[in-house]
Amino acid sequence: MSVSTKDIRNVVLLGHSGCGKTTFSETMLFESGAIPRRGTVEAGSTLSDFSSIEQERGNSIFSTLMHTNWRGKKINILDTPGSDDFVGEVVCSMRVADTALMLLNSSNGVEVGTELVWEYIEKFHTPTIFIMNQVDHDKSDFDAALEQAQSRFGNHVIPVQYPLNQGSGFNTIVDALRMVMYVFPEGGGKPEKQEIPESEIGRAQEMHNALVEAAAENDEGLMERFFDAGTLNEEELAQGLTIALANQQIFPVFCCSSTQNMGSGRIMGFLNDIAPSPADRPDAPTEDGDTMAPDSTGPTSIFIYKTFSEPQVGMVSYFKVYSGTLKAGDELVNMKNSTTERFNQLFEANGKVRNTVDQLVAGDIGVTVKLKNSHTNNTLNQKGYNKEIKKITFPDPRVRTAVVPPSKAEMEKLMKALHQIEEEDPTLIIEQSAQLKQTLLHGQGQLHLDILRYRIEKVNNITMEFEEPRIPYRETITKVANGSYRHKKQSGGAGQFGEVHMRIEPYYEDMPDPTDLSVRKKEIEDLPWGGKLAFYWCIVGGSIDAKYSNAIKKGVMQKMEEGPLTGSYCQNIRVCIYDGKMHPVDSNDMAFMIAAAQVFKTEFKSAAPQLMEPIYDLEVMCSDTVMGDIMGDLQTRRAIIQGMDAKGHYQIIRAKVPLAELYKYSSSLRSLSQGRAKFSRKFAEFSPVPHDLQQKLIKEHEEELAEA
């Protein structure tokens, strides 16, 4: 069976961890007959949370692709994890989805996870439907949750339904779009349609009118008809809602109990009738600034949004067809590396269960295995077609850790495993830092890194331990110093001789030339680690031959790379070579290099040296209740508070914090706020390390050198 593009619905489930996304996906699959019985998150038996790590932990870590058929439409369901540690999984799923279902726990309303994904809903302009889930819960408060959503996300948040009897006996939903009441049998499923009782008619009618108005608002024709007739007929209403949803002019709100299976059928019906198919969405942007239309008769083009390696199977690639029709056996060319890949088998997926299909049309999402050289963010096209789908940009890392180096043999195995995961997870960055002499992992949160370690242990059978990462300090000077060094060695045959006189001083942009020296040649270098080295050759009268200037600069660079204070990179320094001595026989490059390094090192220390540390712009979003604790904690981290703003019922704290104080911040924040806060950080600048700390760091470095 093959669907047409307009009969496909790609739906991503979003929301704070624990709001019920995975349970809702299971309910959709059950209700539509894709699975004979419903699993639970607790028993680890849902289709979505199929990996052993998810089952053990009892929540989602990876995004999962599922699909079902509901009254002639194929609905692809992308379940996502709710914690910001796994935001990469959310971003890639959102990229291929055409509609978002944003679940709220109706007891809790808007939570930090809701805020987190809202950012992306705005960025991707994803048509979005809210679902107030868990209305069967004792503490469910539909009205309060709705009000929170409206005050935070605006008056386009408009209810379609409300629960008549929320709480433990819940079984009735009033639907103001269809103006009918749904009464569910015990155990849920197909509801009985009843008339809305007299007592509820007023509220329902008011909600209905708001929906009609919202539907009419975005189309002139509909607006006219609305003014003439005072309302819209069913067809016009559907047409108007379709336009409004597509343009984020309405965020309709439904209610549901996923565990009781009450409400999911109506939501699927709305997806079928009102939500956009891939053909109704704007054409996909391409890397060359153009777009690609989802035309199933066009040239074949697919985009890999996720890869995942499975034991026994190997690499599994998840992709969306953006143009044409992909058939089993087709060969496509990877635009990144020109590899020709053969798609021997095509699958539809329900979690780990995969069924082969003959073809997938534009707009559909599918799976293949055993691609040789293709990864996330790659476009593969039929030969001769060269467009590339715009790549997904993943958020910058927010935490880092260092890996305790195991034995050499183990290290090789470990790096191989890490690089494999790095390929699957673009939010993980591995760095072999020459300066810090550590292997660093950069990720989204402590949980992200802990899960990584767990995977390496379980799947690859390698123990990986973490340690505190060093800080990439910088060294500079604040005063001028002049000095000289003579390197002289007479041992046996040819000797070594070189004498260098050097002035070092703090470098700044457009600084004037020295007035007491005659500058012969200026070299101003951008250093790979930031900042500059200005190297001035000021030799008069040939005291050092110009042919040695390169060797002298090399000697300086050696010390710039391994600074005299703590072995960190040096920056923003001007060096003037103004005098020296040569020996007609014994002088050579090596001798001058050594002399230059020595004089640089000594003069650096007498030029009021200053250690600089990386400072980050930190932004914390938290609820009022935990704000005091978070501020107090920041104060202990040498933070400088820059400002505070309110966003809905959340506060945003902006601060500048030294990187050295941010180690394990994600865990601290999680426990301080009980998960009711999120943060982001971005490198801001280098600034001077406080005097005491500088002394301590220099001493530590000296001890390290003495030990070595």
Ligand X SMILES: Nc1nc2c(ncn2[C@@H]2O[C@H](COP(=O)(O)OP(=O)(O)O)[C@@H](O)[C@H]2O)c(=O)[nH]1
Regarding 51 and contact with Mg ion (CB under 5 A), the answer is no
Segment interacting with ligand X, rule: CB under 6 A, options 11-19, 298-306, 537-545, 592-600: 11-19
- List the interface residues with ligand X, window 25-54 (CB under 6 A): 41-42
Indicate which single residue of 20, 39, 278, 675 sits in contact with ligand X (rule: CB under 6 A): 20
73-79 and 64-70: which strand pairing?
A: antiparallel
Q: Are strands 157-159 and 251-255 parallel, antiparallel or unpaired?
A: parallel
> Cβ of residue 656: shortest distance to ligand X, in angstroms?
34
Rank residues 51 and 571 by Cβ distance to Mg ion and give the closer one.
Answer: 51
Backbone φ, ψ for residue 173 (5° rounding): -120, 130
Smallest gap from residue 68 Cβ to Mg ion (A): 17
Q: Is there binding between residue 61 and ligand X (CB under 6 A)?
A: no
Residue 268, amino acid = M
| 374 belongs to the binding site for Mg ion (CB under 5 A) | no
Stretches 17-25, 530-538, 632-640, 650-658: which one binds ligand X (CB under 6 A)? 17-25
Tell me the number of residues near ligand X by CB under 6 A.
Answer: 20
Among 7, 10, 18, 320, binds ligand X (CB under 6 A): 18
CA distance 230 to 220: 15
22 near Mg ion, rule: CB under 5 A: yes
| Rounded CA separation 332/325 (Å) | 12
| Residue choice 9, 12, 21, 487 for contact with ligand X (CB under 6 A) | 21
Burial class from Cβ neighbours inside 10 Å (0-12, 13-18, 19+) for residue 262 reads buried
Q: Which stretch binds Mg ion (CB under 5 A): 16-24, 225-233, 286-294, 431-439?
A: 16-24
Q: Does 83 bind Mg ion (CB under 5 A)?
A: no
Q: How far apart are CA 123 and CA 231, in angstroms?
A: 33
> Applying CB under 5 A, does 258 fall inside the site for Mg ion?
no
Q: Does 670 bind ligand X (CB under 6 A)?
A: no
Residues with Cβ within 8 Å of residue 692, at least 6 apart in sequence: none
In sequence order, what are the residues at sequence separation of 6 or more whose Cβ sits closer than 8 angstroms to the Cβ of residue 703? none
Binding of residue 55 to ligand X (CB under 6 A): no
Question: Is residue 362 a contact partner of residue 299, using CB atoms and an 8 Å limit?
Answer: no
Question: In the complex with ligand X, which residue's Cβ is closer, 23 or 694?
Answer: 23
User: Are 470 and 402 a contacting pair, CB within 8 Å?
Assistant: yes
Q: Which of 23, 242, 317, 651 binds ligand X (CB under 6 A)?
A: 23
> What are residue 399's DSSP bridge partners?
443
Name the minimum Å distance from CB 42 to ligand X. Answer: 6
Q: Name the 3-class secondary structure at 569.
A: strand
Edge-to-edge, what's the strand order for the sheet holding 466-467? 429-433, 438-443, 399-403, 466-467
Which of 117/594 has CB closer to Mg ion? 117
Task: Report how many residues bind Mg ion under the rule CB under 5 A.
Answer: 3
**105 is a contact residue toward Mg ion (CB under 5 A):** no
Neighbour tally for 6: CB within 10 Å: 16
Indicate the helix (H) or strand (E) that contains 503.
strand 496-506
Helix pair angle (21-31, 264-273), 10° resolution: 80
Query: What binding mask, one character per residue, do residues 263-302 give for ligand X by CB under 6 A, x or -?
Result: ----------------------------------------
What residues from 199 to 258 belong to the interface with ligand X (CB under 6 A)? 257-258
Least gap, CB of 60 to ligand X (angstroms): 5
* Residue 107 touches ligand X, criterion: CB under 6 A: no
Could you tell me the smallest distance in angstroms from the CB atom of residue 258 to ligand X? Answer: 4
- Figure out which of the listed residues 68, 108, 114, 133 binds ligand X, where binding follows CB under 6 A: 133
Q: Which stretch binds ligand X (CB under 6 A): 18-26, 438-446, 506-514, 598-606?
A: 18-26
| Span of 19-27, 168-176, 217-225, 608-616 interacting with Mg ion by CB under 5 A | 19-27
- Cβ atoms within 10 A of the Cβ of 393, count? 11
398/408 Cα distance (integer angstroms)? 29
Q: Does 63 bind ligand X (CB under 6 A)?
A: no
Cβ-proximal residue to ligand X, closest one: 20
SS3 content of the chain, % helix, strand, coil (to 5): 30, 30, 40
In whole angstroms, give the CA distance from residue 94 to residue 25.
16
CA dist 643 to 192, 634, 637, Å? 54, 13, 16
Q: Which residues bind Mg ion (CB under 5 A)?
A: 21-22, 60
Q: Which residues bind ligand X (CB under 6 A)?
A: 15, 17-23, 41-42, 59-60, 82, 133-134, 136-137, 257-259
